[in-house]
Amino acid sequence: MRRWRYFGYRLLLAVPVIFGILVLNFFLIRLAPGDAASVLAGESGAATPEYTELLRQKFGLDRPMPEQFIAYITAALRFDLGFSFRNDSPVLDLILERLGPTLLLMSTAFTMALALGTLLGLLAAVARNTWRDAAISVATLICYATPGFWLGLMLIVVFSLTLGWLPTSGFENIAEGYEGWERVQDIALHLVMPAMALGLFYLALYTRVMRASMLEQTGMDYVVTARAKGQTETRIMFGHMLRNAFLPVLTMAGVQAGNLIGGSIVVETVFGWPGVGTLAFTALQSRDLNLLLGIFFISACIVVAINLIVELLYVLLDPRIQA
Amino acid sequence: MPDGLRRFARNRMAVLGAIVIAIIVLVSVLAPFLYPKGAFSLAGQPLQPPSLQFPLGTDALGRDVAAGVAEGARTSLLIGIAAALSAVIFGAMIGGIAGYYRGTVDIVLMRVTEFFQTIPAFLLAMLLVVILSPSLLSVIIAIAAVSWPGIARLVRGEFVALGGREFILASLGLGASGPRIIFRHLLPNCLSAIITVGSLLVATAILLETGLAFLGLGDPNIMSWGLQISAGRVSLRTAWWVCTFPGIAILLTVLSINLVGDGLNEALNPRLRER
């Protein structure tokens, strides 16, 4: 039961993070040149003077700073992230509309990277200092240095433009009007390249961590004990070491969750994937700061959620964890 | 140090990385002489494939891709190094204060550091560049602002580990002042770790910079690899070379810096290797 109390404690720690984001957002608006109300309304002429005045009153921009701050926090805690004049829609609705595809892309890339990375790291560690280890090391070094957006473009050149195997962009082929299973297949085809472009960096990262972690475990007493008991190497590997060696990978996965969202912005832009990333890109181009801040807030909430899931997995995998 | 240099020279991959970096630095220094008209100028017919005259081809506006790659090298290296250096200085300051004074200061500073490590770094960098309006300086600030937490935690950890050692207690006993202990005794002892992590930071800073420039968040008047790739995207179907070569330049640069960083790690922290 104490394990769950530990998890509850971590859950509590998420609160200051969310609060911190709001504080950061509040000051970022004020860092922008010009009047905060016009910044919130979107740049030059997108909003009517009436709306700007309404914002000024709503956020109390004519009142002292502490009052402004409280007004901002209460609005944000009610998930009132303001209105995007460029898109003629509340910021929250815009983001929620686009959240599905982004979560699909992120979870696919993340799961693929985690599963394959663990496997490749394991393979490399088992075959240490052989050609297989060297090949995996070189491949990870290269993937580790490749920018995701460029990889995406190169994948398009090879697999779409030259070979014609995969669609260049988008989420699905709407014109075909697929339904049911066919639609799933269609979306999956569209998902292959963005997920690769996003996931390959993390695949390389997890492979490196897993390899190092496996090598660290080899000399441990429990491995020697298992071997002395006469267990087979395969059993020692999968039954004993895998679970222990996986923990640092999981930690790294949690730490990297925030970067995964950043990566999905560029990758979505490359593939015209209709998610939060593309939304961020259009917001960027029209300098719709309020929408960008809203995306920042929601993304940070997602990161906190992912961290909690990782924490939960950690508690499940490692019974030694106690508060 | 010569000992460390010898250990570094024994790592063939790291030496290879150092050579590639030297070539990239050379190209970036020679760029104004090789391409005196600059990377933005019209060089020939648009969308020419690689040829003897234009070894990397031309883009949709008739600009020489090779000139852009050469000038982009300067931009990327400049931003990468400046941002990593600022991040190291700021991070070391925060980590140093937390690790030396401990107590409440430590708790507060480390909570703030963890916070900055949790939030989506790329998004924050994007926001900062948008708010400060895209320029060389704002990109450097934005990248530094999201890169310092790792250094802060590293320096704090080292300070805490060193804090109880005899030579520090001895200096304290001799009446050494706080700054003297920090700058004369603590910092030099964790310099090798800072150099290693700092060199790897240059690589991530360059990746961040190219990502920002790709989204149109670079200085519009300065050529960069990310800008080239985002401009070349439109003609991807007909002219693969416009996007391909700047990307290879990024890949080679980041790869080489990582190799050198790994080499430095093994050379400067030999004990780590035995683990």
Tokens at A106, concatenated: 């992120």
Chain A nearest-CA residue for B236: A157
Structure tokens at B92: 């070391």
- What chain B residue is nearest to A253 in terms of C-alpha separation? B118
Q: Which helix (H) or strand (E) holds A207?
A: helix A180-217
Q: How many domains does chain A have?
A: 1
Residue A265 sits in a domain whose CATH number is 1.10.3720.10
Q: State the pLDDT confidence band at A58, using cuts at 50, 70 and 90.
A: low
CB A197 within 8 A of CB A156: no
- What confidence score (pLDDT) does residue B252 get? 92
Residue A80 domain flag: no
Asked if the structure places residue A187 within a domain, the reply is yes
Q: Is B236 on the interface with A (CB under 8 A)?
A: yes
- Kindly state whether residue A236 falls inside one of the protein's structural domains: yes
Give A288's contacts (C-beta < 8 A, 6+ positions apart): A42, A43, A46, A84, A85, A86, A87, A282
DSSP A275: T
What is d(CA A312, CA A300) in angstroms, rounded to the nearest whole number? 18
On whether residue A4 sits in a domain, the answer given is no
Instruction: Look at residue A122 in the predicted model and tell me its pLDDT.
Output: 87
Does B258 contact A144 at a Cβ distance shorter than 8 Å? yes
Structural domain contains residue A246: yes
Report the C-alpha gap between B106 and B100 in whole angstroms.
8
Q: Does the pLDDT value for residue A145 go beyond 60?
A: yes
pLDDT of residue A203: 92
Q: Do A258 and B237 touch (CB under 8 A)?
A: no
* Residue A54 belongs to some domain of the structure: no
Exposure string of B111-132, with b = 16+ CB inside 10 Å and e = fewer, is eebbbbbbbbbbbbbbbbbbbb
Q: Would you state the structure tokens that stand for residue B207, as one six-digit string?
A: 């990746």
- Average pLDDT score over residue span A150-168: 84
Q: Can you tell me the distance from the alpha carbon of A288 to that of A222, in angstroms, rounded to the nearest whole number?
A: 57
**Residue B51, φ and ψ in degrees, nearest 5:** -145, -175
Q: Which amino acid is located at B270 in the chain?
A: P
pLDDT 10s digits, A186-202 = 877 788 889 999 999 99
Query: Can you give the C-alpha Rg of chain B in angstroms?
Result: 22
**Closest alpha carbon to A301 in A5, A15, A66, A12:** A15
Q: Is the CA virtual torsion B254, B258, B263, B269 positive or negative?
A: positive
Q: Is residue A221 part of a domain?
A: yes
pLDDT of residue A108: 92
CB atoms within 10 A of CB A2: 9
pLDDT greater at residue A113 or residue A33 = A113
On whether any CB of chain B is under 8 Å from the CB of A155, the answer is no
List domains and CATH numbers for chain B: 2-273 (1.10.3720.10)
* A146·B251 Cβ contact <8 A: yes
* A36 interface with B at CB cutoff 8 Å: no
Cβ pair A247, A314 in contact under 8 A:
yes
CA distance A296 to chain B (A): 6
Q: What is the pLDDT of residue A26?
A: 82
Q: How far is CA A295 from CA A39, A92, A257, in A?
A: 16, 9, 15
The answer to whether the CB of A183 falls within 8 A of the CB of A172 is yes
Query: Which chain B positions have a beta carbon within 8 Å of A149's beta carbon?
Result: 211, 214, 229
- pLDDT mean over A32-57: 65
* Average pLDDT of the residues of chain A: 81
Q: Is A55 within 8 Å of A40 (Cβ atoms)?
A: yes
Judged by CB atoms within 8 Å, which residues 276-295 of A form the interface with B?
Answer: 280-281, 284-285, 287, 289, 292-293, 295
For residue A114, count other CB atoms closer than 10 A to its CB.
Answer: 20
Task: State the DSSP string of chain B.
Answer: -HHHHHHHHH-HHHHHHHHHHHHHHHHHHHHHHHSTT-TTS--SSTTPPS-SSSTT-B-TTS-BHHHHHHHHHHHHHHHHHHHHHHHHHHHHHHHHHHHHH-HHHHHHHHHHHHHHHHS-HHHHHHHHHHHH-SSHHHHHHHHHHHHHHHHHHHHHHHHHHHHTSHHHHHHHHTT--HHHIIIIIIHHHTHHHHHHHHHHHHHHHHHHHHHHHHTT-S-TTS--HHHHHHHHGGGTTT-HHHHHHHHHHHHHHHHHHHHHHHHHHHHH-HHHHT-
Task: Report the alpha-carbon distance of residue A146 to residue A169 in Å, rounded.
Answer: 20
Report, as an integer, the average pLDDT of A149-164: 86
In this prediction, residue B78 carries a pLDDT of 92
What is the least distance, in Å, from the CA of A232 to any CA of chain B? 25
> Hey, what amino acid is at A241?
M
Of the residues A31, A153, A270, the best mutation for testing chain B's interface (the one with the most B CB atoms within 10 Å of its CB) is A153
Please give the average pLDDT of every successive group of 10 residues along chain B, which has 275 residues: 74 87 90 78 74 75 81 90 95 91 89 88 90 89 93 90 84 84 86 87 92 88 87 82 88 91 81 47
Amino acid at A319: P
Q: How many A-B residue pairs are in contact by the CB < 8 A criterion?
A: 136
Predicted pLDDT of residue A323 = 44
The helix (H) or strand (E) run that includes residue A168 is none
Interchain CB contact of B215 with A (< 8 Å): yes
Range of the domain at A301: 92-322
- Closest CA relative to residue B85, chosen from B199, B192, B222, B188: B199
The answer to whether the CB of A207 falls within 8 A of the CB of A124 is yes
Kindly tell me the burial class for residue A62, based on how many C-beta atoms sit within 10 Å of its own C-beta (0-12, 13-18, 19 or more).
exposed
Is residue B233 within 8 A of residue A153, CB to CB? The reply is yes
pLDDT of residue B125: 92
ipTM of the complex: 0.86
Instruction: Spell out which residues of chain A touch residue B211, defining contact as CB-CB under 8 Å.
Output: 147-149, 262, 266
pLDDT value of residue B273? 46
- List Cβ neighbours of A52 (8 Å cut-off, separation of 6 or more): A37, A38, A41
Residue A130 confidence class, pLDDT cut points 50, 70, 90: confident
Question: Would you say residue A305 lies in a domain?
Answer: yes
